[in-house]
Structure 1
Amino acid sequence: MSSQDSGSAGGLTLQRGGEEVLLVKVSDRFTTQLTSPDAITSLQAVLEPLAVRPVGRGQLAEWTIAPQRLEACLAQARTQPTVQFASHVYQLVASPHTLIYLTDQITVQFTPHLSRTQGTAIAESVGLAEVRALSGIPNTFVYCVTAQATENPIKIANRLMARSEVLTAEPNVVIETAGLYRPQDALYTQQWHLNATRSSDVKADADISVEQAWDITRGSRSIVVAVSDDGFDLAHPDLQGRGKIVAPQDLKSRDAVPLPMDTEDNHGTSCAGLAIGEENQSGIVGVAPGCSFMPIRTTGFLDDESIEGIFRWAMEKGAAVISCSWAPATINFSLSLAQRNILTQAATQGRGGK
């Protein structure tokens, strides 16, 4: 038996692709890595699980246990000679249906000038043994967790990341595959621009392939989308949500309440919904439902000061995206020097210059 999972019932941070992902334990299951697939039968007799199934390439077994028995059964599994490794199962806080299964491997990239001997010493100090060098990335190695380890692979990786000699430390985790993400909002099947394959009125695949993008991200509140338009129904359910609305501004009324003033002022609400409509199992859903929303009501007229007001407000308040679904009431009307200047500033200095 190798690693002991000493994590608390609270969150645990997984280092993944240069980002930090928050995990929590699943209350009714754990995994084991066995000496052979045949060992699962004898272990079933010992643990008496509610269910058991293979995970990954078959190297792991997932055990479903009544929550009140979980910790005792996990401790018992770790004492069995056929169990090489045992760990809690975790789930993503941001996506609870996504389960994370730990293996006994960690990939570590050291700084370029660290010798292999020095790297080995660092790895051994936290209970790791080298499996192989990772081809294609200098000074990078795959390690396995040994019986000398006192923490689970996630905690070991986080401990290594705190060292100046380590550039990256990532545990090898198993995630079950799934079909492309589809929201449950009631009108989603009618949003042909997002999901053309489910409509008989438009050409198949005429959508923007958003479901493939959603498997990567659906946005986050840290990404602010500014929409400047004729006013916004801020009480609309698809524009609601904790942390959804940030830094609202009405440049026409000169206050922080950019609501529609006339019955014709519905363009802004529609455009905002298209961009960031909240995923709430009702109505529509936007392209980036997880993003926050900065509503900016325009004056209805375009001059240097009004254009500067829109973009300067968005820049100063942290907008990452600025949406402007309007134009001068003419086919061709060139931007002034001042307008070009503020647009250039937004492009080069917005998002902290990124």
Structure 2
Amino acid sequence: MTASPNDPRLPRSGPRREFRGEILQRGGEELLLDKAPDRFTTRLDPPTALADLRLRLDPLAVRVVAGGQLVEWQVAADQLEASLAAARQDPVVRFASHVYRLVDSPQTWVYLTDQLTVQFAPHTPAQTIDATLAPLGLAIDKPLVGIPNTFVVRATTAATENPIKIANRLMALDLVLAAEPNLAIEIADLYRPTDERFPQQWHLAHSGGANLVPGSHIFAEAAWDITRGARSVVVAVSDDGFDLNHPDLQGVGKLVAPLDLQDRDAVPLPTRPTENHGTAVAGLAIGEENAIGIIGVAPGCGFMPIRTTGFIDDNAIEQLFDEAVRRGAAVIVCSWSPATNYFPLTLRQTNALTRAATTGRNGKGCVIVFSAGNANRPLSGTINETQWPQNALSGSTRWLSGFAIHPDVISVSASTSLNTKAAYSNWGKHIAVAAPSNNAPPSMTLPQVGTVPTGPPLRQFQPGLGMVTSDRTQGAGYSSDDYTNTFGGTSSSCPVVAGVAGLMLSVNPNLTARQVREILQATADKIVDRNPDPQLGRQYGTYDANGHSQWFGFGKVNAAAAVREAQRRAFPGRQVNRVVQQQNQTAVAIPDNQSGGVESSVTVAATGIVTDIQVEVSLDHEFLGDISLTLVAPGGVTALIQGRNLGRQRELRATYTLQTTPVLARLIGLTAQGVWRLRAVDGAAGATGRLVSWGVRMGLGG
């Protein structure tokens, strides 16, 4: 028997919440919704019935959305309710609903599916759960793995209300902890093309030039001296399609378990002229080393291409991350975001990411990397919006990027070839690290207005070089040949970091996902941009007491330093049998502007193998930015422990450890006995100083 909305068995709103159909339960929040005035959706059974139903409903327009789950119908506004009622009565329609818009993001269509996620209080009996769901016309599809007493349920034809209203009714019950409808929202790719092409991949390594400053690259060459990546470490790239005929996406053993979630096969090729994004993203992360074209950050790693549906809903996110885990991905690249300014994750989406980050790689966790976004807005915060095209956003506007703020996600912002913030790059306390990309005005894709500049529009030229990467072959992509130099946005910085993670796991596959993040953050370069951003005038380019910048996270990723630290941690159980230390308290003057500098030595008499090392230095100088320090082992192996990056400081009292100075790892395994030297070099004229004292402390094994 079908229950009436007034059936006394149905739950009623108590004092906990006011029952309102316009409220969406999502991610622990209650979000306000508006109905779209001229469109609705249906789920058909069979899907092939679309042509006949179109004749019966006679819409203005129709399209398939949500990865094929739903059909969107556009009708005249005064015909909306009548057309929706007719659809609900049609025998081929299993579900029909209004299309909605978030009040906080009015330019984004929200498509309601017939699924909900319901979490019951612990120890709720099964019969109570059934008795709660059945009167509402809900049937359990499956339990939600990883969260007790939580189920994915479906609104059957017996349901008399849509899932939004049902979720609100359920949230009025004390035994229900969460009730969330499953919504589908379009994906926005996060690239930002420019006009000028540069033939070199400056982001990997460079020695200067126009629009380049020292250290704006990721020091890939030094990382490649250690590893170029292992095929056993698989980088999954989730995107819109991949030109697998491109020579830089091929190689012996390169391709691993390809998947097309849109066409439901194993051939994730582009099918539309606009599907160029994935090929470019993949090239930056894992482009093959083959003496032609471009090279990725991790050319030796395996490549798992996953073509997405183009929409985000609970099922799509679960399938994406569950399949990546099942097929053996170590790193998952997500250079996309929802096409909306406010997007909290649902319980199912949050759980899907957590599950991948904790159970993937046999319990060590998949490394999940997301683009921060290109709107020059906070990942979580409020902005008073003005001067958007078509007044798309106006007034006090909330911003939230649910994927980027997930605690198991590495969120990547963009820096430029000038070591400044990319004008478009999103920012906030959830940014983990930055990586190189192009520079361009901020913009955003909104379904109702397309890709538009964010307000107020930034019209002046933004200096910085573009990113060179693979493009669809035979002129089908961004350019007329097989490569593009116009790629950019946080869609470029994201795969750069993912490639570095692939290199790290290649030298130390035992690292957990959390350890990979910790190393990336600890070894990042603290680039500084003190200029206000040209659009909003904010200044977040310096670091707080915890070493974090809202623009750059913990700094710009340094591939060489990250790989060295990962390799250092790979030494199994470096046993320390004893500790020895030596100091030299004799102060020596440092010659001004002499390449040979001055050396001070200590002698270690103890025998044994170095398994740990620390160096303590006390040094005074009128301008410490002139000074570099190198530790020289008895056999001549050197480690540059301090570069010329101390600026105007005048006193140095520092301890260099394997954690803070990964280059010291090259001294692990050497014989301790002999003369150890510290070389101090003053590299510029005009300021003088002295090495006051220094010492070395070693853990010995063997």
Q: TM-score, normalised by structure 1?
A: 0.55
Counterpart CA distance in 2 for 1:149 and 1:128 is 7
The change in CA–CA distance for 1:172 and 1:217 in structure 2 (over 3 A counts) is farther
Q: Which residue of 1 aligns with 2:674?
A: none
User: Is 1:81 aligned with 2:91?
Assistant: yes
The change in CA–CA distance for 1:242 and 1:83 in structure 2 (over 3 A counts) is closer
Q: Which residue of 1 aligns with 2:458?
A: 282
How far the C-alpha of 1:109 sits from its partner, in A, is: 1.0
How far the C-alpha of 1:322 sits from its partner, in A, is: 12
Q: Which amino acid counterpart does residue 127 of structure 2 have in structure 1?
A: T
Counterpart CA distance in 1 for 2:3 and 2:186 is 23
Q: Which residue of 1 aligns with 2:662?
A: none
Q: Which amino acid counterpart does residue 282 of structure 1 have in structure 2?
A: L
Q: Which residue of 2 aligns with 1:130?
A: 140
Q: Which residue of 2 aligns with 1:251?
A: none
User: Is 1:331 aligned with 2:660?
Assistant: no
Note the alpha carbon deviations across 1:250-272, whole angstroms, 9 max, x for none. xxxxxxxxxxxxxxxxxxxx99x
Q: Which residue of 2 aligns with 1:166?
A: 176
Note the alpha carbon deviations across 1:58-79, whole angstroms, 9 max, x for none. 2321111122211110111111
How far the C-alpha of 1:203 sits from its partner, in A, is: 3.0
The alignment's C-alpha RMSD in Å is: 4.8
How far the C-alpha of 1:145 sits from its partner, in A, is: 0.9
Q: Which residue of 2 aligns with 1:121?
A: 131
The change in CA–CA distance for 1:275 and 1:85 in structure 2 (over 3 A counts) is closer
Q: Which amino acid counterpart does residue 24 of structure 2 have in structure 1?
A: L
How far the C-alpha of 1:161 sits from its partner, in A, is: 2.1
The change in CA–CA distance for 1:158 and 1:332 in structure 2 (over 3 A counts) is farther
Q: Which amino acid counterpart does residue 22 of structure 2 have in structure 1?
A: L
- How is 1:84-233 mapped onto 2 (pairs within 5 angstroms)? 84-180=94-190, 203-204=202-203, 212-214=371-373, 218-219=377-378, 222=381
Give the counterpart of 1:48 among 58, 62, 65. 58
How far the C-alpha of 1:126 sits from its partner, in A, is: 2.5
How far the C-alpha of 1:93 sits from its partner, in A, is: 3.3
Q: Which has the higher helix share?
A: 1
Q: Which residue of 2 aligns with 1:64?
A: 74
Counterpart CA distance in 2 for 1:121 and 1:34 is 28
CA contact (8 A) 1:3 1:151 kept: no
Note the alpha carbon deviations across 1:164-207, whole angstroms, 9 max, x for none. 2112211112222231176xxxxx969xxxxxx98889934869
Counterpart CA distance in 2 for 1:27 and 1:207 is 50
Q: Which amino acid counterpart does residue 179 of structure 1 have in structure 2?
A: D
CA contact (8 A) 2:3 2:135 kept: no
- How is 1:18-37 mapped onto 2 (pairs within 5 angstroms)? 18-37=28-47
Note the alpha carbon deviations across 1:92-143, whole angstroms, 9 max, x for none. 3333443221111111111111111111211223221222222222111111
Structure with more contact order per residue of length (Cα contacts < 8 Å, sep ≥ 6) = 1
Q: Which amino acid counterpart does residue 35 of structure 2 have in structure 1?
A: K
Q: Secondary structure at the match of 1:31?
A: strand
Counterpart CA distance in 2 for 1:293 and 1:168 is 40
How far the C-alpha of 1:4 sits from its partner, in A, is: 11
Q: TM-score, normalised by structure 2?
A: 0.30
The change in CA–CA distance for 1:221 and 1:138 in structure 2 (over 3 A counts) is closer
87-96 vs 165-174, greater mean Cα deviation: 87-96
- How is 1:245-324 mapped onto 2 (pairs within 5 angstroms)? 279-280=454-455, 281-283=457-459
Counterpart CA distance in 2 for 1:139 and 1:217 is 40
The change in CA–CA distance for 1:21 and 1:114 in structure 2 (over 3 A counts) is same
CA contact (8 A) 2:382 2:396 kept: no
Q: Which has the higher strand share?
A: 2
Residues matched between the structures, number: 252
The change in CA–CA distance for 1:135 and 1:150 in structure 2 (over 3 A counts) is same
The change in CA–CA distance for 1:216 and 1:114 in structure 2 (over 3 A counts) is farther
The change in CA–CA distance for 1:215 and 1:162 in structure 2 (over 3 A counts) is farther
Counterpart CA distance in 2 for 1:12 and 1:116 is 30
The change in CA–CA distance for 1:4 and 1:94 in structure 2 (over 3 A counts) is farther
Q: Structure 2: state its 5+ residue gaps.
A: 6-19, 205-215, 219-333, 337-370, 389-393, 398-419, 428-440, 443-453, 463-489, 491-531, 540-544, 553-646, 653-702
Q: Which amino acid counterpart does residue 50 of structure 2 have in structure 1?
A: I
CA contact (8 A) 1:3 1:153 kept: no
Between the aligned residues of both structures, percent identity stands at 44
CA contact (8 A) 1:189 1:199 kept: no
Counterpart CA distance in 2 for 1:174 and 1:45 is 26
How far the C-alpha of 1:49 sits from its partner, in A, is: 0.7
CA contact (8 A) 2:44 2:92 kept: yes
Counterpart CA distance in 1 for 2:96 and 2:395 is 37
CA contact (8 A) 1:3 1:85 kept: no
Note the alpha carbon deviations across 1:210-264, whole angstroms, 9 max, x for none. 982128993278569xxxxxxxxxxxx9xxx8459xxxxxxxxxxxxxxxxxxxx
Q: Which amino acid counterpart does residue 458 of structure 2 have in structure 1?
A: S
CA contact (8 A) 1:3 1:145 kept: no
